[in-house]
Structure 1
């Protein structure tokens, strides 16, 4: 099984150079994906390319397996170029730098499920809060949370499925194809967008030792 990782740093997301749990967000994300990917292409905002190149090269075993590209506002276009830059693969993992602490077991489960025949795979967690439907400031109903799941990344794709999505201008991290199966996600794979998110992630990691 040959796996390629495509790691995206959203220009509107957290700074990939921000330090969390002793290292930059980008360092953690690259290190985690390289546990399962043979090759990794990282797309980061143009002004950050130099710094991010240095961070990527500091990850053990990165070497020639990683490439850093400049990204713009068109994520589908960025991914299309990243796919073209990557070597042929059986599985493509599309991941968000803002989720730097996805356990290696989750990453491998996504890759293995695609290799086993799924078109696309996404890790999910069950919704534990009660979800209400609201119109204005009035509650109008309750949604059955047993049918709701929290979506995480990486999203695993067969290369041909990902290429078709990008060709149609879709965002492979949010505009998922029609047939997407799931594997179990993990609490530490939360998206770090606020200081509170970061504190929660670091607390969970401390508990795990």
Structure 2
């Protein structure tokens, strides 16, 4: 089973406990016990980070002009496999159990699988004038996480048709339970939260 790991510059520059997010993400995939190989699409500088991860079975490709092109190039380099994971390196601390749940759902027959968590905030729709126009029913809202899981043929067809794999058509993606630790580390506050979570687990 292959994981496609898409990394932006933040995954290389931002560090938690002295290591770039990219290194944490690679280690997390390996420790899930179900990923045989990782194809990394990343900006310049990723190679040295990957080499520093003990036992990492990775191939590093240069990031393409767009995220969709990076995914397509990584998929083409993945080789033969039955399940493909698509992961965002800035979600570096996804629990192994979540990764395994995604893989198992694909192997049970789902073409595309996404881990999700319930929305807990009150969500409002706001018009162009800044006035609230409606309140969304949050019982049906979910926040999408990664890794996303795909049957190989489903992802191949999406790439061939130019469909963004992160935006499969409604009604085609099965969900599994995500985890709060799989937050996207986009701000200094997010990094501080990740540091605190790791300290609790130590």
Which range, TM-score by smaller chain? over 0.9
User: How far apart, CA to CA, are the structure 2 residues paired with 1:158 and 1:70?
Assistant: 25
User: How far apart, CA to CA, are the structure 2 residues paired with 1:80 and 1:194?
Assistant: 28
User: How far apart, CA to CA, are the structure 2 residues paired with 1:27 and 1:101?
Assistant: 11
The equivalent of 1:103 in structure 2 is 95
Residue from 160, 164, 167 that aligns with 1:171: 164
The equivalent of 1:127 in structure 2 is 119
Deviation string 1:2-38 (CA, Å, 9 cap, x unpaired) is x100000135xx2424211231111001111123310
The equivalent of 2:28 in structure 1 is 32
Task: Please provide the CA RMSD for this pair.
Answer: 1.4
Q: Are 1:165 and 1:177, in contact at CA under 8 Å, matched by a contact in 2?
A: no
Q: Are 1:41 and 1:86, in contact at CA under 8 Å, matched by a contact in 2?
A: yes
User: How far apart, CA to CA, are the structure 1 residues paired with 2:115 and 2:107?
Assistant: 15
Does residue 44 (structure 1) correspond to residue 42 (structure 2)? The answer is yes
User: How far apart, CA to CA, are the structure 1 residues paired with 2:55 and 2:196?
Assistant: 27
Following TM superposition, the consecutive aligned residue runs of length 4 or more in structure 1 with deviations greater than 3 angstroms are none
Residue from 92, 95, 104 that aligns with 2:84: 92
- TM-score, reference length from structure 2: 0.92
Does residue 112 (structure 1) correspond to residue 112 (structure 2)? The answer is no
User: How far apart, CA to CA, are the structure 2 residues paired with 1:5 and 1:21?
Assistant: 24
Q: Are 2:11 and 2:89, in contact at CA under 8 Å, matched by a contact in 1?
A: no
Deviation string 1:60-104 (CA, Å, 9 cap, x unpaired) is 221xx2100001222222222211211211110000011101011
Q: Are 1:125 and 1:186, in contact at CA under 8 Å, matched by a contact in 2?
A: yes
Does residue 204 (structure 1) correspond to residue 197 (structure 2)? The answer is yes
Q: Are 1:4 and 1:39, in contact at CA under 8 Å, matched by a contact in 2?
A: yes
User: How far apart, CA to CA, are the structure 1 residues paired with 2:169 and 2:83?
Assistant: 16
Equivalent pairs counted in the alignment come to 198
The equivalent of 1:180 in structure 2 is 173
The equivalent of 1:152 in structure 2 is 145
Instruction: Between 73-82 and 153-162, report the one with greater CA deviation.
Output: 73-82
Instruction: Between 156-165 and 68-77, report the one with greater CA deviation.
Output: 68-77
Give ranges in structure 1 of 5+ residues lacking alignment.
none
Give ranges in structure 2 of 5+ residues lacking alignment.
none
Distance 1:74 1:168, change over 3 A: farther
Matched residue SS, 1:121: strand
User: How far apart, CA to CA, are the structure 2 residues paired with 1:159 and 1:6?
Assistant: 12
